Each structure stands twice: as C-alpha cells, then as structure tokens.
A and B are shown apart, each in its own frame.
Chain A
C-alpha cells in the first residue's frame, strides 16, 4: 500500500524558513516523480513544485521560485521542501504527492504551515 507521511509543518514568522519532509513507503520511491501541492485554508488546490525520480530536474510555480527548494533522498525514500523567505500567502496545508505527469494519484495526509507574526 502506498503511504506518504508529511512532517515539519508549524507556525513560523514571515521571512523565516521551514523544511517539510515526506516519508514514502509501499512503492519503489526512486522510480517516481514526486510533488508538493498546497491548499490554503478553505481554498482550492495549488501545485507548488515537482522533482524527477533521480532528483536531477526540478520544477516550481512562479510564486515560489527562488524561495522554495524541492529535493529528495532516494536512499531514505524521503521527499523534502525547503521553504525560505516565507510569506503570509504561503499559509496552507502542504501535501506530498506521487506525480505522474502532473497527475496526482497518491496523497499524504498533509502538514499545516502557518506564516504569521
């Protein structure tokens, strides 16, 4: 069974940093692209970033380019999202997903990031 378990969310002040992790199991992690998708409170879904299975290429939405970094450790079957220079508009639940050409078939339970002073 595919399982994705996020961690690392919390309350952080504007301008500060936070790093999210996603532990994957139930599939061969190194064979799949992965992605982060977020959902602001009571809002819709928004793709944030994707990474190829090797980690050699990464893709970001414009609003997070230069501030967020997606990475992975295939030996640990873990996906990461380093978030720097956080803004109030980054407040959201962040979901780790398995990415098949931007089709998100498997999702974690999400981790809430709140950016506020």
Chain B
C-alpha cells in the first residue's frame, strides 16, 4: 500500500500568518493518465472530514482561496494564508492513485 507521511503536529502559527502542512508519499502519485491523485481534507474537532483540495491544487467548491495546494511526484504541501482562528483542525492528505486509496495520519494545526 502507498504510505503517506505527515508531521503529526504543525509548527504553531499566529493568526494572519502562513501555515504549511506537508505530505510525503512512498511512491510517485502521477497516474498514467497524467493526473496526480492527491487530495487534502480538514477535520474540525467533533466534525466529519471535509474535502479541501483535489488533484494536488484544485480547490473544492466553496473552499476559500486562503487554502492552496502544491507539489508533485511524492512531495506535497497544503498552504493556508492567512490563517484564521477557524482553521484549527487536523488536516489529512489522501492518495487515490493506487488501490487501496490511503490517508496520511493527519497533521494538527494549532495557533500560538
């Protein structure tokens, strides 16, 4: 199975600053069709996960442009700029390049 590695806790950030959350894959996620199937979800405490970003850098419907995704191959980053108080959550990456699809363990974002 493809293993996605995330730092469990991100460096605390101040409101208004930029936060970067990384996700590293054990294999390249570039599909033979040319697409890279790496998604980002956020999960607020006590809530269900929400899709933020699909195929590395595409924001899902309704997601603010403060959220952006980047990366290629095996290394990916979710950037939040500027960070707002409501962004306190756990962020998961997921790959759907290979069966079974797998999730990273999640990165908790905390504010200073």
Contact = CB atoms under 8 A, between A and B. Distances in A.
B25 to A, nearest CB: 15
Contacts of A107: 48-50
Interface in A73-93: none
Which size class do B's interface residues fall under?
20 to 34
Given A103-B39, A103-B54, A105-B60, A47 B100 contact: yes
Interface in B23-73: 37, 39, 41, 48-51, 54, 60
Contacts of B37: 101-103
A110 B49 CA distance: 10
Given A44-B92, A45-B94, A103 B51 contact: yes
A94 to B, nearest CB: 11
Contact of A105 (B51, B103, B104): B51
B49 A103 contact: no
Given A45-B49, A109-B48, A110-B48, A103 B96 contact: yes
Among A95, A103, A107, A108, the one with the most B-chain Cβ atoms within 10 Å of its Cβ is A103
Interface string A21-54: 0000000000000000100000011110000000
